[in-house]
Structure 1
Amino acid sequence: MPFNAKGSPENSFNSFNSFNSFNSFNSFGTSGNTVAAEALLTTRDGIVGAPLDLNPHITPGSPHDPRNLARLSADVRASLYLSELGSRVAFSDAIDETAIATLWRRDTRPAGRSPQPDSLLVQITTPTIDQFKEQMAYLTAYADLRSDRAAEILSQTSAITPFLASISFMDPARTPFTLELMSAALGFTNYCGMRLKYSISAKRPIEFSPQVQPIIPTPTHGSLPSGHATEAFVTARLLWKLLRASNSEQYREDGVWGEMFMRLASRIATNRTVAGVHFPVDSAAGAVLGLTLADYLHAVCDPEANELTSACFNGPAFNAAEDFDWHALYMAREDRQTKKAGKKRRPWATSERHPTTPDMASPVLTWLWKKAQAEWQDFSV
């Protein structure tokens, strides 16, 4: 997720802020508004009078109760979502021929029972330097598209949600909880992606040649997996799952919505190669991570989800002469990741399906999922 000058994640919905129906309240009571503070002070002095009896009906709050969520601000809920998700994963790294980074899921059990052992969620093995060098040919070829895609590239640097909204009817007034779900997914994706990037520490194209000359600043974190590819594919698949879960007929008849989401995710990923900051293989690794995280997010958000995916990306097996193609990894109509991508005997990507457990879904995230799901249910006459 992109960061602003203060080091905090940029709000991926900034382009929608003009629709905020509460902006009329923002001029009153905000920090630094001394006039408002003085007005509140003198108002209290004028009306407080003699002490009144305390309310005898105050009772303790309801601890760890999702009903509290509706009364919290969106930014407070966002912190809770990230806490729920971040505490459910762990990381490890190793070095063989190249660096290996692994993301583990930490399944929970009811209180009083011993925790389950960590289970593989995503493992990424880094390609070799020679593979990255061979991929430099794509940086040269894609540079010819920069003038055509510059507006896209610059817009997608800080926000990809408006592009998803151009396919699905998202709007802060119409689908506020869907946007909140997408924001939670992006926050968790950034949390996982940055840690995996740190373990892998893959060099950027600009470090291979002075002729790359990216048209945007090159991020300081590692190149693989591509963060934009990961974010694009996690939100595209999660949104597609949400639309399907709404049971609205137009989303269940065929896979055209999922196909369009994947085309968009692929274009966003490829634009990072056009810009000069990523290799195609970075996008392939990011797509594996994003698609798998979307399936995992669905499992922890929706109690009706009955399975999830684990996946491995084997970089040294990736054919460096080939470009990134999402069709090798995912079938939109069935909402399924492919079991293998690449050569049969040495695939560069594999995935496995696993059943969920009854207690895998988080009550906090289930609350958000159901709120978002209801926003896509059609009204019939």
Structure 2
Amino acid sequence: MGGALGNRDGIVGSTLDATLTPAPLAGLRASVDAVEPLAHWEAWVRGTVFDVELLAPLQFAVAGNRGLELSCRDAKDVPRPLVRLLRPVAEDSDGMRQQLQFVLDYADLRSDRQVEIQSQIPQLMTYWAAIAGLRPDRHRWTMELLGAAVRFAIAVELRFKHALALARPVELSPKVQPMILTPGHSSFPSGHSTEAHCAARVLMALRGVDDQGDGLGAMLLRQAARIAVNRTIAGVHYPVDSRAGQVLGTCLAEYIVGRCADLALGSSGHLPPFSSHTAREFDAEAYLLKDFQAPVSGSDSNQVDRDGEGLKLGAAHTPVPSKAMSWLWLHASAEWR
């Protein structure tokens, strides 16, 4: 610092030049709120813009005495349902006793999954990178897109957790003895399941793959489910939390992808493969006797919309596209061409 101060004194005069250096953004500002300056900002600044874009049209509303509904305002500012989650009726029910028994049974796998569980506490990107071949030097924009998806999922899931306030397994039985510190928020829905399924679905849409067979999409969904199950093995989540997170994460991914479909910014071939999201309702009470298991073959890789088990499908809606999110999508998709 000292050298730079002294150096300036030796080479800079006291008079301002008649001609100023051209402003670097002058040619980028096609209009107010144009997308072109995004490439000029630091990553955290772009990230904040993306966060606001995704959260802005959303609103939450209490649904009955057990639920919370998330809606997205459409082009006419009318709220359209995105997802509704209903928590279990009570923690002391027979169904919740079964959920707690699942947690105790899964504890047998803790030694086998210890390394995975510990590594998945701070971040999940390593696992997606291993499956999809992500590299920071080649897939900068893809990683920013996934980062935006995860931050968005965290914001939404925490609002659901606060509203639905389900006790953690360790709060119901001293026999659980989690192998990691239990997070200080509601058990329902699972945050790891929400984030993993949201990121998996966004990356699948970006790559244009489905969930069939043993391909990329199936692997991403199996990984998401395994991450979710690991949290039950660790003793901090019930299986029903993972199922709720799977439903929530899928809905959020469809919403994100729909916000990236601004045709004004690029050809349809480079934009998302779909632009609408399907409303879903998940009632945990109808799932309490069931376990949530990670799929192991192509035939059962897509569990999210299977009939029954507390899930109801609603109408499809198209969210208002975001220029900023569409700009990010186009840059990310170009990295895979």
Give the counterpart letter for 1:124 in structure 2.
L
The CA distance in 2 between the partners of 1:54 and 1:313, in whole Å, is 67
Once the two structures are TM-superposed, the CA of residue 326 in structure 1 deviates from its matched residue by: 6.7
Q: What's 1:159 paired with? A: 123
Instruction: State the one-letter code of the partner of 1:309.
Output: T
Contact residue 205 and residue 278 of structure 1 kept, 8 A: yes
SS of residue in 2 equivalent to 1:167: helix
Give SS of 1:90's match: strand
* Amino acid of the structure 2 residue aligned with 1:162: T
Equivalent residues of 2:211, 2:218 under 8 A apart: no
Report the Cα offset of residue 48 of structure 1.
1.6
What are the superposed Cα offsets for residues 99-158 of structure 1, whole Å, 9 maximum, x if unpaired?
211111122x3xxxxx42111111000012212222111111100000000000000011
Distance 1:60 1:235, change over 3 A: closer
When the two structures are superposed, what TM-score results if normalisation uses the length of structure 1?
0.78
Displacement of 1:92 after TM fit? 1.7
User: Contact 1:230 / 1:287 at 8 angstroms: preserved in 2?
Assistant: yes
Aligned length: 316
Aligned to 1:3: none
Residue identity opposite 1:371 in structure 2: H
Q: Could you say if the C-alpha distance between residues 148 and 337 of structure 1 is closer, same or farther in structure 2, counting changes exceeding 3 Å?
A: closer
**Which residue of structure 1 lines up, in the alignment, with residue 277 of structure 2?**
308
1:372 — aligned with what?
A: 332
User: 1:324 — aligned with what?
Assistant: 292
Matched to 2:326, the amino acid is T
1:49/1:375 Cα in 2 relative to 1: closer, same or farther (>3 Å)?
A: same
Q: Is the 8 A contact 1:259 1:332 kept in 2?
A: no
Tell me by how many angstroms 1:322 deviates: 1.5
What is the match of residue 351 of structure 1? 313
Distance (Å, rounded) in 1 between the aligned partners of 2:44 and 2:146: 13
Q: Matched residues in 2 for 1:284 and 1:253: separation?
A: 17
Letter in 1 for 2:46: R
Task: Give the structure 1 partner of residue 59 of structure 2.
Answer: 90
1:80 equivalent to 2:49? Answer yes
Aligned partner of 2:147 in structure 1 is 183
Gaps spanning 5+ residues in structure 1: where?
A: 1-35, 110-114, 245-250
For residue 43 of structure 1, report the CA deviation from its aligned partner.
2.4
Give the letter for the 2:48 counterpart.
S
TM alignment of 1:49-128, pairs within 5 A: 49-55=13-19, 62=29, 63-96=32-65, 99-107=66-74, 109=75, 115-128=76-89
> Hey, what's the Cα distance between the residues in 1 that align with 2:290 and 2:236?
18
Does structure 1 retain, via aligned residues, the 8 Å contact 2:61–2:69? yes
DSSP 3-state at the match of 2:70: strand
Distance 1:260 1:306 in 2: 24
Deviation of 1:306 after TM superposition, in Å, equals 3.5
What is the alpha-carbon root mean square deviation over aligned residues?
Answer: 2.4
Report how far residue 290 of structure 1 moved: 0.3
Alignment counterpart, residue 138 of structure 1, candidates 84, 102, 111: 102
- Whether the 8 Å contact between 2:67 and 2:85 is mirrored in structure 1 is yes
Is 1:284–1:326's contact at 8 Å kept on the other side of the alignment? no
What corresponds to 1:273 in structure 2? 232
| Superposed CA offset, 1:161-186 (max 9, x none) | 11111110101011111110000001
What amino acid sits opposite 2:84 in the alignment? Q
Query: 1:213 aligns to what?
Result: 177
- Structure 2: gaps (5+ residues): 263-270
Question: Which amino acid counterpart does residue 102 of structure 1 have in structure 2?
Answer: E
Shift of residue 316, structure 1, vs aligned partner: 1.7
Q: Which amino acid aligns with 1:125?
A: L
- By how many angstroms is 1:361 displaced? 1.3
TM-score (norm 2): 0.87
Task: Tell me if structure 1 keeps the 8 A contact 2:198–2:250.
Answer: yes
After superposition, the C-alpha distances for 1:276-307 in whole angstroms (9 at most, x for unaligned) are 00000000000000011111110001235332
Q: 1:239 to 1:179 in 2, by over 3 A?
A: same
Question: Using a 3 Å threshold, how does the CA distance of structure 1 residues 173 and 349 change in structure 2: closer, same or farther?
Answer: same
The offset of 1:350, in angstroms, is 1.8
Separation of aligned partners in 1, 2:176 and 2:136: 39
SS at match of 1:312: strand
In the alignment, which residue of structure 1 is the partner of 2:255?
Answer: 296
For residue 309 of structure 1, report the CA deviation from its aligned partner.
1.6
Counterpart Cα distance in 1 of 2:41 and 2:166: 40
Give 1:354 shift: 1.6
Residues 304-360 of structure 1 show CA distances to partners (whole Å, capped at 9, x for unaligned) of: 533212111111222x22111477xx9999x8952x532xxxx50122352426xx2
